[in-house]
Chain A
């Protein structure tokens, strides 16, 4: 990334990525098999299905100091639980507009569908969110008072 864009020296964005236990976990594993497949600041949180993600989790992640949140789910039609990904989609798009209303930039919370074979897509998306948040700088809007 261009240095000029950096908001704070030596700061590395922290991104919480939710992965489902089916396609996205596999995709994440596949991405990991390549060196550099996971950006350093990305931490995975496994859930059974993207549909399990309570919007509160995303908010909590931001409150706990994450600079970005990435949600991985299965492609439409591929959900192991039939329709959990679609439920997640509805829920998270609502959350995103709410967060924007609070002043959290929309690039900080992103949703992406991947299959178990799409390691490269995982990497690309994870890098994208890291770079997007890097450009935006640390997320401070929801962070509770310094620990």
Chain B
């Protein structure tokens, strides 16, 4: 860490996609001012394209923020006062070094004044130019003046410079004079301490694979286009349609690996996500068009993520998706029907053909070409495919100090990895710039809550939230103000412009202080978002006990633009209801509590060690508890990675660093026996060799690892020549002759995995088999190495390692789970017999060594799950809150699950997770205080019968029964205010502040 006084604390994130937004959100929580620069006119990257996600078929992005607050990361970024979005902008120059960079950002003119544009859309109607819309890769058209997508942030139309003919029609019709065709670009200089590159990816241009006919055959779409079609926001409202005739397809083919695993288009890597997105698209298509027949043409099905194998199996069994392992020879269009005829070769060498209504090409990820030059100027090394070059042990660091990387710019990857890396890069930035010792939060409004009137006589301020004049355009604000002024308790009715969210809140704050308002009704645009921001950011003083948002902006002014009578009467009803509801409100004070800044880390394997160090680097206190007497975990038995990095050296380095760090308390032979409390104030009881001790901590990181699986299969003969993959690695590291001098080595992958008993995929074994096969070949080039596999799951850049192994002469033979290889003894020799699916022949081999890839088993996590109130997946790993948006979060706040106890993964990925969890924990705890509104659910103990129904429905385990007094008690910290308990209570003993029964009924009678 550099001394804080010498560095800039502001941070620049380039790329506003999933990874970049995540970095920004975490750093902003740590009081960094973050600039997010994006070349697109709106932030979000590919996020807005996706509305269903695998493996849950749900969306769930509102879980993604570090604090449960906003509705989606883009919105939250927009409303976070420490995040500054610079869209339609490009980096011009970067100078300086870690801690002190000077960056110039060029803003391309959008030619529409975002502050004025009211989204009325008149310009779009008159614009004569039509071009393909970027979102969905041109499956729809847009005009030269357009909205990038409905919820685009910033909320404004923009002009596409290239397409615009400068005819000026838009400027003529714009009622607010927002169009300026001569707008000039501008430049801005930023001083930042660190830079995070989150450029993302470009979808492969499938036109380059002319044989698949994209762009020539109407009913051939790319996966990106089809994804858009399946989105509820698309013109077809989520129902797939054939572009040629608009009919619903009955048969859809998905062709995999288009632009991936293909050396003819410089894509010698696997794009990692296409197998799963095609599976999702097949499932969703099946949901949208009943009886739709989906067929996936693939080489290897790479369902390597957590629970992905189950999803893939469910696609086959529950949705009837057909998976055809094949190579496609031709694809052609049938002239009359527009159908597509696919001719393909099957696994067993037959030639077949089948007709489809529609074909979807599962396009892979290409490196973002636009940033190549910038990366060159910054000195950031790229790999041979144009993605950012990183090392396995420092995954989110680039070749330039102070410049970090996250997400798909590191290589094709899925959302959870991008989210994790976004946090991991934030941890790297923190390690460089943050010293949390003695730092106080900069939010200045954390005033004492005594300011709230004790009697709470209603003094309601109604603020009409005007945005770009749109409210006044449809509504008679004067008449409405007069109307509301007559309502009981209303102290003022004023109009406030909410174009700049923070300014609006400051205005409201000032007025509230002046007029001693204790309730505020926000009526108009952005009302809900402002309420959420005001509540969580303490932007409006604590003397306002109640906020009531009423969106008469979109819901009245816009929805009834052409019918002023309806708009006005509806607005009157809605605001009246809001005012009455506010009148009946009980005050919600802010309470402050001290929280512990210590993090307890369970498990001293690589993940635990890395998380400890990342926290210690930010001067956060850590207690690291390891069950065994040794640090290092599973990594102690591994020697080298697929790219040749030395694991033993890494373990030694981390262990030494942890043991030397005074901020990390290491407890060996220690187990967690009890965990109480909630985030910020957990109390753990740790047991060390019979001695118990209590530790107060604010967060807990579970990194308890997993174990090498064992299998009874292929072990019917006890023979020292049958070994597990990890044992082989040890033998190779010590140049054991039994391995190095062997003539024939046969590896069997998925030994006991991906079948009943161990239905998950262990993600790492295919790579390990390839890695070890390569080392065998290197040590003894004459050796014959066979790898028997079911699907070769060398995802991402591991594909290259697989390619190398084939080049070196390693023989890969596929087998079917129904006809597994047999291992037996023949005259003392170890015999392996298997059917080569390709040629359909049985092959018998004498092997000197049989190596089993047995996979990864979870520990028996049941006891720990019980103690720490964690949930398990059906496979026995710890369950996350959301597989995409919150892959490290346990259900309770302040509990994180990282490394192998979360799911099988490579060291590189575990290191990322460890750092990410450290970043999240420090974002939560660093200030040492939590300032929040009081709990929202209240129990009237007198009425409560103690039936326990509320306890059963609470999603947060926030309610318990007081055994003695027999009534429900609510845990203030856990309660999230959903009100499910209140609606469940038969005797109305629970009520919810802000939505009490009395309030809701008053609203119902006011409407």
Contact = CB atoms under 8 A, between A and B. Distances in A.
A94 interface: no
Interface in B516-531: 528
B151 A82 contact: no
A23 interface: yes
Interface in B563-594: 563, 566, 570, 573-574, 577
A142 interface: no
A28 B979 contact: no
Interface stretch (A2-10, A37-45, A97-105): A37-45
Interface in A20-48: 21-23, 25-26, 28-38, 40, 43-48
A60 B997 CA distance: 11
Interface string B943-981: 000000000010110000000000000000000111110
A128 interface: no
A117 B232 contact: yes
A87 B984 contact: yes
A83 interface: yes
Contact of B237 (A35, A76, A87, A121): A121
B980 A51 contact: yes
A81 B980 contact: yes
B560 A60 contact: no
Interface in B87-125: 119
Interface stretch (B240-248, B503-511, B551-559, B658-666): B551-559
Interface residues of B, number: 58
Contact of A32 (B57, B72, B558, B994): B558
Contacts of B528: 21, 25, 29, 46
A33 B525 CA distance: 11
Contacts, number: 167
Interface string B59-89: 1101100001001100000000000000000
Interface string A38-79: 101001111111011111110011001000000000011110
Contacts of B977: 48
B690 interface: no
A57 B1004 contact: yes
B163 interface: no
A47 B979 contact: yes
B150 A35 contact: no
B1005 interface: yes
A45 B1003 contact: yes
Interface in A113-131: 115-121
A117 B151 CA distance: 8
A95 to B, nearest CB: 11
Contact of A22 (B62, B119, B556, B995): B62
Contacts of A91: 983-984
Contacts of A44: 555, 574
A16 interface: yes
A47 B570 contact: no
A44 B551 CA distance: 10
A84 interface: yes
A141 interface: no
Contacts of B873: none
Contacts of A54: 982-983, 997, 1000
A51 B978 contact: yes
A45 B1000 contact: yes
A11 B239 CA distance: 35
B233 interface: yes
A87 B237 CA distance: 27
B58 interface: yes
Contact of A84 (B562, B570, B980, B1001): B980
B71 A23 contact: yes
Contact of B573 (A26, A43, A64, A119): A43
B151 A43 contact: no
A52 B51 contact: no
A15 to B, nearest CB: 10
B561 interface: yes
B571 to A, nearest CB: 11
Contacts of A16: 1004, 1007
Contacts of B68: 80
A74 B995 CA distance: 19
Given A48-B992, A52-B979, A52-B983, A38 B559 contact: yes
B71 A116 contact: yes
B56 interface: yes
Interface residues of A, number: 53
B1001 A115 contact: no
Interface string B639-666: 0000000000000000000000000000
Given A16-B1007, A40-B563, A84-B978, A52 B995 contact: yes
Contacts of A36: 559, 562
Contacts of B982: 52, 54
A83 B56 CA distance: 14
Contacts of B51: 115, 117
B936 to A, nearest CB: 8
Contacts of A119: 150, 233
Contacts of B995: 47-48, 52
Given A35-B558, A54-B982, A118 B119 contact: no
A79 to B, nearest CB: 8
A43 B1007 contact: yes
A29 B1000 contact: no
Given A40-B570, A45-B1007, A75 B58 contact: yes
B279 interface: no
Given A37-B559, A51-B983, A116-B151, A87 B953 contact: yes
Interface in B16-62: 51, 56-60, 62
A120 B233 contact: yes
Nearest to A37: B559
B983 A53 contact: yes
B151 to A, nearest CB: 7
B558 A78 contact: no
Nearest to A39: B559
B231 interface: yes
Given A30-B151, A48-B977, A118 B233 contact: yes
Contact of A87 (B558, B559, B561, B980): B980
Contacts of A115: 51, 59, 232
A6 B561 CA distance: 26
Contacts of B232: 115, 117-118, 120-121
Contact of A81 (B59, B119, B978): B978
Contacts of A31: 554, 559
A53 to B, nearest CB: 6
A75 B1005 CA distance: 29
A59 to B, nearest CB: 10
A60 B1001 contact: yes
Contact of A35 (B57, B559, B978): B559
Interface in B212-261: 231-233, 237
Given A35-B558, A84-B980, A117 B233 contact: yes
A49 B981 CA distance: 11
Given A23-B62, A30-B150, A35-B560, 8 more contacts: A22-B71, A23-B71, A25-B528, A43-B573, A45-B1007, A51-B980, A78-B60, A116-B151
Interface of B: 51, 56-60, 62-63, 68, 71-72, 119, 150-151, 231-233, 237, 528, 549, 551, 553-556, 558-563, 566, 570, 573-574, 577, 891, 953, 955-956, 976-980, 982-984, 992, 994-995, 997, 1000-1001, 1003-1005, 1007
23 contacts: A16-B1007, A22-B62, A23-B59, A34-B558, A35-B560, A36-B559, A40-B560, A43-B573, A47-B979, A48-B978, A51-B979, A51-B980, A52-B995, A54-B1000, A57-B1001, A60-B1001, A64-B1005, A78-B60, A80-B68, A80-B978, A83-B955, A91-B984, A120-B233
Interface of A: 16, 21-23, 25-26, 28-38, 40, 43-49, 51-57, 60-61, 64, 75-78, 80-84, 87, 91, 115-121
- The list of the 3 closest CB pairs from A to B, nearest first, reads A77-B58, A32-B554, A52-B979
